[in-house]
């Protein structure tokens, strides 16, 4: 299906209709304002036929009932089903019991003291979600433990960290879906060798009690000398970048406690339900997906800038970048043909207002063709929050409307659409909702583009070639 041609037809049919801006949509603390987009409500309503043509309702039902299949991997796509199941509830109970044993000192460090430091070691989907959560929920941390994140295959990162912590009192969480990820195994080898050299008398105890594995591959973890009681698993059918609601986020429970962790999960599940049960007209993920498709496939805007105007959300663009570009960065359709449509855009972002002092000059006056997602907090209870909100709306208005000056060099281009996504507050529940919102946006886009959003063969091939290159060196 040529989506651009479909959108042209919608535009032609609606050209004489009154230009009515899109209405603001709200769901339990999350608001979506699409009014700064170059589309009227009549065209937008017609766009919903793209969902019908691609059997969206049927595929969405399969997603929620564990019947959606990633054909190139010959397995189901289980992340939504899992996090709304009894299985996940039991897994939360399991990691909660482990967390409480550490917190209460029932599991001691190798020198008999309480554990006071947690290091999460992961990469990609095993890192971006937990790290974003850690930053976003800083105000909810109990401060019972200090926490750190390590992902680099360059050992300088872990080496620098080991110098400033008390390794004897540290819990190491190794998170890898397959537990074959090179970066994780290299970091583990470095830590193993460091302990063997510097703490030989404690090595066996540390490996048995202070090493934790989170993976789908329990047998491999056992073969790498992880104790069975310290291995936490989740289903293999969960794509790594969609594993944020799983034991992968154990470190976040250590940071914010059980109650706040469960509130985060509740937020995800509430947005899941909203996406599944709400009509297209008021459905936030569907509306956000369709406006993206309009910007990409009709307006030919291939750069999506995610700009969080909140320090707590400063790295949400990194998280969204992976779930969008790794999921929908595809050119082969589910019919095993090259697509005639543009799919995932280049997605990047920098926090506001820092972005205004770097690349926004190019956005306002350059030759780039971009569209924006501004994510901000509506709660204006401090001067700094009011300052951030004022800048969000100033930038969104200027990017959309432009500015004409009698001096050409002072004129601003305009015509850059923006979607404003606001949270009424930062909380575990709202962060869960915003994550689920973007996950379901990705699913909806994938359905319309008729691509598999849940494989990543480009990533896999790169790993294989890197191993071959390493053998040559």
Q: What is the pLDDT along the chain (473 residues), one digit of tens a residue?
A: 899 999 999 988 877 676 788 989 999 999 999 999 999 999 999 999 999 999 999 999 999 999 999 999 999 999 999 999 999 999 999 999 999 999 999 999 999 999 999 999 999 999 999 999 999 999 999 999 999 999 999 999 999 999 999 999 999 999 999 999 999 999 999 999 999 999 999 999 999 999 999 999 999 999 999 999 999 999 999 999 999 999 999 999 999 999 999 999 999 999 999 999 999 999 999 999 999 999 999 999 999 999 999 999 999 999 999 999 999 999 999 999 999 999 999 999 999 999 999 999 999 999 999 999 999 999 888 999 999 999 999 999 999 999 999 999 999 999 999 999 999 999 999 999 999 999 999 999 999 999 999 999 998 878 888 888 888 87
pLDDT for 264 equals: 98
pLDDT for 468 equals: 85
pLDDT for 21 equals: 80
Distance in angstroms (rounded) separating the CA atoms of residues 110 and 27: 48
Distance in angstroms (rounded) separating the CA atoms of residues 446 and 62: 14
pTM for the predicted model, two decimal places: 0.96
Distance in angstroms (rounded) separating the CA atoms of residues 331 and 327: 11
Give all domains of the chain, ordered by start, each with its CATH number.
3-74+278-459 (3.40.50.10490), 79-260 (3.40.50.10490)
Cβ atoms 155, 126 nearer than 8 A: no
Catalytic residue among 61, 357, 425, 461: 357
61 has catalytic annotation: no
The residues pairing with 347 across neighbouring beta strands, listed in sequence order, are 304
pLDDT for 212 equals: 98
Cβ atoms 387, 352 nearer than 8 A: no
Catalytic residue among 67, 97, 222, 463: 463
326 has catalytic annotation: yes
pLDDT for 79 equals: 98
Catalytic residue among 263, 326, 439, 445: 326
364 has catalytic annotation: no
pLDDT for 461 equals: 79
124, 76, 439, 88: which is closest to 236 by C-alpha?
76
416, 423, 467: which is closest to 36 by C-alpha?
416
pLDDT for 465 equals: 85
């Amino acid at each position: 299906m040529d989506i651009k041609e479909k959108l042209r037809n919608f535009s032609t049919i609606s050209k004489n209709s009154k230009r009515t801006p899109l209405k603001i949509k709200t769901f339990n603390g999350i608001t979506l304002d699409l009014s700064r987009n170059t589309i009227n409500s009549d065209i937008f309503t017609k766009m919903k036929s793209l969902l019908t043509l691609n059997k969206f309702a049927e595929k969405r039902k399969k997603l929620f009932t564990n019947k959606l299949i990633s054909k190139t991997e010959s397995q189901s796509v289980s992340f939504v089903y899992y996090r709304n199941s009894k299985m996940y509830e039991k897994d939360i109970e399991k990691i909660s019991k482990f967390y409480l044993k550490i917190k209460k000192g029932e599991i001691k460090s190798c020198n008999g003291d309480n554990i006071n430091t947690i290091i999460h070691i992961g990469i990609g989907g095993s890192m971006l979600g937990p790290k974003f959560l850690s930053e976003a929920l800083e105000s909810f941390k109990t401060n019972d433990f200090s926490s750190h994140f390590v992902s680099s295959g360059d050992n300088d990162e872990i080496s620098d960290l080991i110098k400033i912590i008390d390794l004897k009192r540290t819990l190491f969480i190794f998170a890898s879906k397959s537990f074959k990820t090179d970066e994780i195994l290299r970091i583990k080898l470095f830590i193993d060798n460091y302990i063997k050299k510097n703490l030989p008398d404690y090595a066996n105890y540390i490996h048995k009690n202070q090493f934790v594995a989170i993976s789908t591959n329990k047998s491999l973890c056992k073969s790498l000398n992880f104790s069975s009681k310290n291995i936490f698993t989740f289903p293999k059918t969960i794509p790594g970048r969609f594993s944020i609601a799983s034991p992968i986020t154990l470190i976040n429970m250590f940071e914010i406690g059980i109650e706040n962790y469960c509130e985060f999960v509740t937020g995800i599940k509430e947005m899941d339900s909203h996406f599944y049960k709400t009509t297209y007209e008021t459905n936030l993920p569907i509306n956000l997906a369709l406006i993206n498709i309009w910007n990409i496939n009709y307006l030919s805007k291939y750069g999506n800038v995610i700009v969080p105007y909140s320090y707590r959300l400063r790295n949400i663009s990194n998280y969204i970048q992976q779930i969008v570009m790794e999921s929908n960065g595809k050119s082969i359709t589910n019919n095993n043909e090259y697509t005639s449509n543009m799919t995932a855009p280049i997605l990047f972002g920098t926090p506001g207002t820092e972005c205004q002092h770097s690349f926004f000059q190019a956005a306002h006056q350059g030759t780039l063709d971009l569209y924006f997602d501004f994510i901000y907090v509506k709660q204006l209870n401090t001067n700094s929050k009011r300052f951030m909100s004022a800048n969000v709306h100033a930038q969104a208005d200027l990017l959309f409307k432009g500015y004409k000056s009698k001096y050409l060099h002072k004129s601003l281009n305009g015509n850059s659409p923006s979607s404003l996504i606001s949270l009424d507050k930062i909380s575990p529940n709202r962060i869960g909702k915003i994550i689920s919102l973007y996950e379901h946006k990705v699913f909806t886009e994938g359905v319309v583009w008729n691509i598999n959003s849940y494989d990543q063969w480009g990533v896999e091939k790169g790993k294989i070639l890197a191993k071959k290159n390493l053998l040559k060196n």
